[in-house]
Amino acid sequence: MIERKKWEEWTNRMLHTFGWAIVFEELEGKVIDVFPARVKFRGFDEQSEEAGFIGLTQYLKDNVDSLVEETKS
């Protein structure tokens, strides 16, 4: 029921809509802290947004069948 993912896969885009973000701090390539934060900014720069949409679209393409099956069980 739970599939662990790397922090690098998280997206704050939807949270930014409501003025929130998930912040993670790294030290020497390892995550040392994670916390929710209120933020004033909304969204990301154009290059990051484009990469995010490409990644999301690819994810949906690769996983649509299993996503549909999960909703039925």
Whether 48 and 38 share a structural domain? no
pLDDT at 58 over 80: yes
Whether 49 and 65 share a structural domain? yes
Contact of 42 with 16, CB cutoff 8 Å? yes
Whether 33 and 56 share a structural domain? no
Query: What percent of the chain shows pLDDT beyond 90?
Result: 44
Whether 23 and 57 share a structural domain? no
**Cβ-proximal residues to 23 (8 Å cutoff; 6+ apart), any chain:** 34, 35, 36, 37
Instruction: Give the mean model confidence (pLDDT) for residues 35-48.
Output: 88
Q: What is the mean pLDDT of the chain?
A: 86
Whether 57 and 72 share a structural domain? yes
The pTM for the full model equals 0.58
Stretch (H or E) spanning 37:
strand 30-38
Contact of 46 with 29, CB cutoff 8 Å? no
Domain range for residue 48?
44-73
Whether 48 and 28 share a structural domain? no
pLDDT at 10 over 90: no
